Amino acid sequence: MIPFLDLKAQYSQIKPEIDAAVARVIGSGHFVLGPEVTAFEGRFAEYCRTAHCRAVNSGTSALHLALLAAGVRPGDEVITVSMTFVATTAAILYSGARPVFVDVDPVTWTMDPGLVEAAITPRTKAILPVHLHGLMADMDPIMEIARRHGLVVIEDAAQAHGAEYRGRRAGSIGDLGCFSFYPGKNLGAFGEGGAVVTDRPEFARRVSLLRDWGQEAKYDHVIAGYNYRMDEIQSAVLNVKLDYIEHWTDARRSLAERYNALLSGLPFARPQPPQHARHVYHVYAVRLERRDDALKLLRDAGIGAGIHYPVPVHLQRAYAELGYRAGDLPVTEMLANDFLSLPIYPELLPEQAAEVVGILRSAAALQPSVAISTRLEHPQSFMTWSHNRRAS
Ligand SMILES: *Cc1c(COP(=O)(O)O)cnc(C)c1O
């Protein structure tokens, strides 16, 4: 039995500190937006190398408020990707704007900057790239396009705490960055949580107001806001865990290297982070032909594998009214068919990674050795392949 994720293993390592922190909050009688939240905001801003951080009650709320703070309004368009968790799209819809999807790059699996400019219209207000699986999107060209067209950039860094792009931290390159502290994320609370980071004081101020009913002072509501406040217990837990995040990230990165080594020679495409990237491996995904057979083999062997994500947002029934169809985003749709996420968490043992790959090896024996990696390394032939596959 190897679970996909083991939150109890992490808790057992830091139990005395966590229990003391939670007890301190309970004893204080101060439960929402208090000293733990303020301390966490200062420390998380420093961690992200931004001037400001505002903690909220989920990653989805962080995205929603970042969009509102940036001035996104009903009727606007926001360019984003469909290879993500639905929250990215949902937050855009909450703001009243329309999500416009561009395809992802076949090697990095993040927003393809080469497709962004063609998606810009007079209504476009913002670009919202997603740092999928812990690898940051190609931010330099995205920022360059945004600056040239006067657009705001909001990073969905919900899977990318501490990730880096050319030495810069996730959340610090765009105008605003959004994080989730959902328990399974790389930095997880004991419940829901999220944060917005930014260098711009006016954006931080707007998020502060919006998350707490638009109150400047008690019962003085200057704008129409929300109840998106973070509670003290979550911040107390996060304050403890923040001391360990670098250590845990290093553990994820060395497990990913271990997987890379174990998988070499097998017909699976592995993550290929560019030289300049610090990938933080929220998810370690491979791509393979007959993915569903491999997934079944793993699950039958008691191994918690997953798919992130099996149905892209633009093909979800809930978002049918956006008007997208199968074939609109060929790379995204192919990844949804090929992706397989292997267990990865700081406490996973190298022997367990070897056991997972052992099962995959038998899955590989079952499949014709069509090397997906070949397609991946030659995006041109891969595009032709995916086009033919659609046509047939
Ligand atoms: C988890 C996640 C979110 C939403 O965060 P919640 O805290 O669950 O609301 C948004 N975007 C991405 C890419 C995520 O992985």
Tell me what pLDDT residue 362 has: 84
Query: Looking at the predicted structure, is the pLDDT value of residue 373 above 90?
Result: no
Q: Range(s) for CATH 3.90.1150.10 in the chain?
A: 245-391
Percentage above 70 pLDDT, the chain: 93
CATH code 3.40.640.10 region(s) in the chain:
7-103+112-242
Answer for the pair 370, 322: CB distance below 8 angstroms, yes or no.
no
Evaluate if residue 159 carries a pLDDT over 70.
yes
Q: Among the atoms of ligand 1, which is closest to the Cα of residue 84?
A: 13
Q: Hey, whose CA ends up nearest to atom 10 of ligand 1?
A: 87
User: Confidence band (pLDDT; 50, 70, 90) for 289?
Assistant: confident
* Per-residue pLDDT reduced to its tens digit, 222-272: 999 999 999 999 999 999 999 999 999 999 999 999 999 999 988 889 999
Q: Read off the pLDDT band of 367 (50, 70, 90).
A: low
CA–CA dist 175, 152 (Å, integer): 6
Give distance in angstroms: CA of 180 to centre of ligand 1: 6
- Separation of 265 CA from ligand 1 center, angstroms? 34
Q: Does residue 113 carry a pLDDT above 70? A: yes
CATH fold group of domain 7-103+112-242: Aspartate Aminotransferase; domain 2 (3.40.640)
Quick check: 87 pLDDT over 50? yes
Q: Is the pLDDT of residue 385 over 90?
A: no
Quote the CA–CA distance of 175 and 72 in Å, as a whole number.
13
| Cα separation of the two ends of the chain | 40
Q: List pLDDT tens digits, range 185-235.
A: 999 999 999 999 999 999 999 999 999 999 999 999 999 999 999 999 999
Q: Are 324 and 299 in contact (CB under 8 A)?
A: no
Q: How far is the CA of 98 from the centre of ligand 1 (A)?
A: 19
Homologous superfamily of 245-391: Aspartate Aminotransferase, domain 1 (3.90.1150.10)
* Closest to 160 in 3D by CA, of 179, 143, 174: 179
Residues 127-140 have a mean pLDDT of 98
Lining residues, ligand 1, CB within 6 Å: 58-60, 84-85, 87-88, 130, 156, 158-159, 180, 182, 192, 194
* pLDDT for res 364: 77
Distance 359 CA to ligand 1 centre (A): 30
Predicted local distance difference test score (pLDDT) of residue 234: 98
State the pLDDT at residue 371: 42
In this predicted structure, the answer to whether residue 370 has a pLDDT above a threshold of 80 is no
H/E element, 77 = strand 77-81
Residue of 83, 85, 132, 309 with the most ligand 1 atoms within 8 Å of its CB, for mutation:
85
Look at ligand 1, atom 6, and give the residue with the nearest C-alpha: 59
